[in-house]
């Protein structure tokens, strides 16, 4: 059961379709593990749909109608095939991420960063936030850091503690420029997270002087 959820305005923006693709992916990953947020999103989407229903009909130009009709002649785009993932990956990685992850966890090109964690960046538009899977060993203490922007983390496996608060599978951890923190991975297993970062980390301790270059995005 998840204990930490996206803020209400984030769920609202998700339902309204105004989040970036990377942000939406984090919310979708959480909602696929959290029935409470899945229900909330369904309600918001239904409410949004009813607003569209009561909106006054608007006249459209002939050009717009022609453009819609012309699109009917366009070839049908076939959605990308769902990748073949092993059972472990399908168990751990929520379905909304499957097409982005593209292959089984053990076959991904993990890159070790600053001897501290392993990372695979997911293929998303470069102008949006940076979206990665991160894997940390049990007991890893991440250097104290702040943020220049927002950092959203969705725990997919294992867990960590941050400021005395526990985060485990499904939990959504939203940090922004007002937070300084030092998460520590729990001792009972590796921690796998989806991390959506819209600006580089800002390390605050002296260790930051040494580690920061590795953390630039």
Min separation Cβ 167 and Zn ion, Å = 13
The reply on whether position 19 binds Zn ion by CB under 5 A is no
Min dist CB 34 to Zn ion, Å, is: 3
Kindly state the smallest distance separating residue 39's Cβ from Zn ion, in Å: 9
The count of other CB atoms within 10 Å of the CB of residue 122 is 20
Reduced to 3 DSSP states, what percent helix, strand and coil does the chain have, rounded to the nearest 5?
35, 25, 40
Listed residue (192, 150, 199) closest to 169, CA to CA: 192
Closest alpha carbon to 31 in 157, 170, 158 = 170
Stretch that binds Zn ion, among 5-13, 48-56, 58-66, 190-198 (CB under 5 A): 5-13
Binding region for Zn ion (CB under 5 A) out of 10-18, 27-35, 56-64, 102-110: 27-35
Would you mind telling me the total number of residues written for the chain in this entry? 217
195 is a site residue for Zn ion (CB under 5 A): no
* Residue list 106-145, contact with Zn ion (CB under 5 A): none
Binders of Zn ion among residues 33 to 62 (CB under 5 A) are 34, 36-37
Least spacing, CB of residue 193 vs Zn ion, in Å: 16
> 118: Cβ–Cβ under 8 A, 6 or more apart, which residues?
110, 111, 112, 134, 135, 136
Q: How far apart are CA 186 and CA 192, in angstroms?
A: 11
Count of residues that interact with Zn ion, criterion CB under 5 A? 4
- Calculate the CA 80 to chain-centre distance: 20
Minimum Å gap between C-beta 161 and Zn ion is: 19
- Among residues 5 and 130, whose Cβ is nearest to Zn ion? 5
Task: Tell me the torsion sign for CA atoms 142, 212, 104, 89.
Answer: positive
- Applying the rule CB under 5 A, the residues between 66 and 95 that interact with Zn ion are none
If the CB atoms of residues 29 and 37 are measured against Zn ion, the closer one turns out to be: 37
Tell whether residue 5 is a contact of Zn ion (CB under 5 A). yes
**CB neighbourhood size of 136 (10 A):** 22
Give the residues lining the site for Zn ion (CB under 5 A): 5, 34, 36-37
């Amino acid at each position: 059961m998840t204990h930490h959820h996206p803020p209400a305005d984030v769920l609202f923006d998700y339902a309204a379709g105004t989040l970036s693709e990377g942000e939406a992916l984090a919310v979708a990953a959480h909602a696929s593990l959290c029935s409470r947020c899945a229900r909330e999103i369904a309600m918001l989407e239904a409410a949004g749909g009813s607003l569209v229903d009561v909106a006054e009909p608007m006249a459209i130009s002939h050009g717009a109608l022609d453009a819609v009709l012309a699109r009917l002649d366009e070839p049908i785009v076939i959605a990308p095939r769902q990748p073949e993932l092993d059972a472990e990956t399908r168990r751990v990685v929520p379905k909304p991420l499957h097409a982005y992850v593209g292959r089984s966890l053990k076959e991904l090109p993990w890159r070790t960063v600053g001897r501290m964690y392993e990372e695979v960046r997911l293929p998303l538009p470069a102008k949006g936030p940076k979206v990665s899977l991160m894997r940390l060993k049990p007991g890893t203490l991440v250097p104290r850091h702040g943020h220049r922007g927002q950092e959203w983390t969705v725990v997919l496996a294992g867990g960590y503690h941050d400021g005395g608060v526990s985060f485990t599978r499904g939990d959504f951890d939203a940090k922004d420029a007002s937070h300084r923190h030092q998460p520590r991975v729990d001792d009972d297993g590796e921690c796998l997270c989806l991390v959506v970062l819209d600006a580089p980390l800002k390390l605050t301790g002296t260790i930051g002087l040494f580690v920061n270059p590795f953390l630039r995005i």
